[in-house]
A and B are shown apart, each in its own frame.
Chain A
Amino acid sequence: MGDLIRKTAVELSELMTSGEASAVEITQAHLDRIGAVDGAVHAFLHVDTEGALAQAAAVDKKRAAGEKLGPLAGVPLALKDVLTQDGIPTTAGSKMLEGWKPPYDATVVQRLKAAGVVILGKTNMDEFAMGSSTENSAYGTTHNPWDLNRIPGGSGGGSSAAISAYEAPLAIGTDTGGSIRQPGAFTGTVGVKPTYGGTSRYGLIALASSLDTPGPCARTTLDAALLHEVIAGYDKRDSTSINQPVPAVVDAARRADVAGLRIGVVKELGGEGYQPGVEARFHEAVELLTKLGAEVVEVSCPHFQYALPAYYLILPSEASSNLAKFDAMRYGLRVGDDGENSAERVMNLTREAGFGAEVKRRIMLGTHALSSGYYDAYYGQAQKVRTLIARDFEKAYEQVDVLVSPATPTTAFAIGDRVNDPIAMYKNDLCTIPSNLAGNAAASFPCGLADEDGMPVGFHVMAPVMRDELLYQVGGALEAALAEQWGGVLMSKAPELEVTR
Chain B
Amino acid sequence: MPSITREEVAHLARLARIELSDDELDHLAPQLDQIITLVGQVSEVAADDIPPTSHALPLTNVMRDDVNVPCLTPEQALSGAPAAEEQRFRVPRILEED
Contacts and interface: CB of A to CB of B under 8 A. Distances in A.
Interface of A: 100-104, 196-197, 210-211, 236, 239-240, 242, 303, 306, 308-310, 312-313, 320, 324, 327, 329-332, 334, 337, 342-349, 351-352, 355, 357, 360-361, 363-365, 367-369, 371, 377-378, 380-388, 390, 422-423, 426, 436-439, 465
Interface string B24-40: 10011001101110111
Contacts of B47: 384
A101 B79 contact: yes
B4 A240 contact: no
Contacts of A436: 56
Given A309-B40, A381-B43, 16 more contacts: A236-B62, A306-B42, A334-B82, A352-B21, A357-B27, A364-B13, A368-B8, A368-B32, A369-B39, A384-B42, A384-B45, A384-B47, A387-B53, A388-B50, A426-B35, A426-B38
A463 to B, nearest CB: 14
Contacts of B16: 320, 351, 363-364, 367
Contacts of A344: 17, 94
B88 to A, nearest CB: 11
A388 to B, nearest CB: 6
16 contacts: A239-B61, A306-B45, A309-B38, A312-B38, A327-B17, A330-B80, A347-B17, A351-B19, A357-B27, A361-B32, A383-B52, A386-B52, A387-B46, A388-B46, A422-B31, A465-B57
A368 B9 CA distance: 9
Contacts of B81: 330-331
B52 A312 contact: no
Nearest to A355: B18
A345 B14 CA distance: 10
Contact of B32 (A211, A364, A465): A364
B18 to A, nearest CB: 5
Contacts of A352: 18-21
Contact of B35 (A103, A361, A386): A361
B40 to A, nearest CB: 7
A interface, over-half SS: helix
Contacts of A104: 72, 76
Contact of B53 (A337, A364, A390): A390
A312 B35 contact: yes
Contacts of B43: 377, 381
Interface residues of B, number: 55
B91 A343 contact: yes
Contact of B41 (A100, A306, A422): A306
Nearest to B41: A309
A364 to B, nearest CB: 5
B18 A364 contact: yes
B30 to A, nearest CB: 11
Given A104-B76, A306-B45, A352-B20, A383 B56 contact: no
B62 A388 contact: no
B62 to A, nearest CB: 5
A342 B46 CA distance: 44
B52 A380 contact: yes
Contacts of A465: 56-57
A439 B56 CA distance: 5
A340 to B, nearest CB: 11
Nearest to A239: B62
A382 B18 CA distance: 25
Contact of A381 (B14, B20, B42): B42
Given A385-B46, A439-B57, A422 B17 contact: no
A334 B77 CA distance: 19
B64 A330 contact: no
A438 B75 CA distance: 40
B78 to A, nearest CB: 9
B56 A210 contact: yes
Contacts of A385: 42, 45-46
B42 to A, nearest CB: 4
Interface in B48-98: 50-57, 59, 61-62, 64, 72, 76-77, 79-82, 89, 91-94
B11 to A, nearest CB: 9
B35 A346 contact: no
Contact of B42 (A327, A363, A382): A382
B42 A437 contact: no
A430 B28 CA distance: 23
B29 to A, nearest CB: 10
A363 B17 CA distance: 10
B20 A360 contact: yes
A177 to B, nearest CB: 13
Contacts of A239: 59, 61-62
A343 B31 contact: no
B18 A363 contact: yes
Given A103-B80, A367-B15, A210 B51 contact: no
Contacts of B55: 210, 240
B5 to A, nearest CB: 12
B19 to A, nearest CB: 4
B8 to A, nearest CB: 8
A310 B59 CA distance: 20
A210 B35 contact: no
